Amino acid sequence: MLFRAEAAAVPHCARCTVPPQYSGEAQKLANPTYGPVPGASDLYSSYWGIERPFPGNTTDPVFPTEHGPPGEDDYIWQNLLSAEWIIFEFYQQGIERFTDQDFINVGMPNTTRRRLMEIRNNEAGHLRIFQSQISPTSIKPGPCKYIFPLQEPISYLSFLTVIELASMAFLTGLAQLPKSDFAKGAMAAISQTETRHHLWALMELWKSEPFAGPADTTFPYANQILYSTHNLVVPGSCPPENPEYPHPRQLLPILSATPDTQSLAPGSTITLHFPEPDSQPVFDKDTQYYAVFFHGVLNVSVPIDTRDFPQRPISVTIPSDFEAKGAAIAMIADEPGAPTNYSVVAGPAVIPMQPTWLGPALIQGG
């Protein structure tokens, strides 16, 4: 399995020298009490402007201000902050791109854009929380430039639903990583907010059943979900001083169903698709591979035939005994159950179970 080198993954303070081009407003954010404080300011709930709320209006990384080694959980908070820049920017761009009337015209509630602003504000608060949790000996990553489906409101809102689903599965894995009990609790608290965002989308936008069964999907390899977002980042657009994202990262092929997929419901047979031509899985002809599905707290492995790939496509049936609630996470592994991240050879892919049309609609929409 391929990994990036880890040596420079958590840049920390050697001489605490801030490059001249970064000595402006952003560096003030090194002080965790600078600016509106999440939990004390209503900016992060009740700001109704189009302009980017603090700290989303900064574009530079924040450099270390103290000497010393990185904090024990710094790389986790750095991963989380880099991911949060993507989420914040997604909501911000939607607010800038679409008007209230745009959403009303496609049958959405007249409060849709206002709710998106409220979620955007929450995400800005997450940015500041994550910045404040990175120790003063490590860099706080700045934003890159991102590409999102902004052509029309329905595809945008559909993508929103999948982002929130993936966020919940990602956070269940991330919360297993920190050494600090406080960090684990903080990440659990953030996941509760993301759940509220998703429930709003299901109930208000899609008029769909809001409950996901007795448990949302728990997924152990958070960084694999983060790496699957790399196609949203404009190549070469990140501040060069940013740490590797995510760290550590596996260079796994992206996995999805083919664009002609009609259903992702339990019991459906789908053909697997690897959309990036330069990143295709390589299968050993003497190894049995499995499609591994995580759903709730279940883990189900289905043997797949890879012997004639790529000449013959790979098909698999989504386990029929899954309840059609929430989301499933699928991957290809060379061991049943994908017991370690090293056993994973492609994926993961988020499979929305509700609303039922959402997954195929996104795949068919490209």
Joined together, the tokens standing for residue 134 give 């990175």
Q: What is the pLDDT of residue 17?
A: 67
**211 and 289 part of one domain:** no
Specify if 312 maps to a domain. yes
Model pTM above 0.75: yes
**Averaged pLDDT of the chain:** 91
Q: What is the pLDDT of residues 20-56, one digit of tens each?
A: 666 678 899 999 999 999 999 999 999 999 999 999 9
Nearest in space to 299 (alpha carbons), one of 233, 364, 343: 343
Q: What is the pLDDT of residue 12?
A: 60
Specify if 112 maps to a domain. yes
Between CA 65 and CA 148 the distance in angstroms is: 34
Q: Is the pLDDT of residue 6 over 50?
A: no
Task: Report the domain count for the chain.
Answer: 2
Specify if 156 maps to a domain. yes
Q: Is the pLDDT of residue 181 over 90?
A: yes
Task: Considering only the C-alpha atoms of the chain, give the largest distance between any 2 of them, rounded to a whole number of Å.
Answer: 59
Question: What are the two backbone dihedrals, phi and then psi, of residue 280, each rounded to the nearest 5 degrees?
Answer: -110, 145
What CATH number does the domain containing 307 carry? 2.60.40
Between CA 165 and CA 228 the distance in angstroms is: 14
**Residues 326-348, mean pLDDT to the nearest whole number:** 97
Specify if 227 maps to a domain. no
Q: What is the pLDDT of residue 16?
A: 57
Specify if 97 maps to a domain. yes
Between CA 258 and CA 256 the distance in angstroms is: 7
Task: Grade residue 3 by pLDDT with cuts at 50, 70 and 90.
Answer: very low
Task: Grade residue 7 by pLDDT with cuts at 50, 70 and 90.
Answer: very low
**Residues 119-146, mean pLDDT to the nearest whole number:** 97
Percent of the chain with pLDDT over 70: 94
Specify if 53 maps to a domain. yes
What CATH number does the domain containing 108 carry? 1.20.1260
What spatial distance separates the first Cα and last Cα of the chain, rounded to whole Å?
28
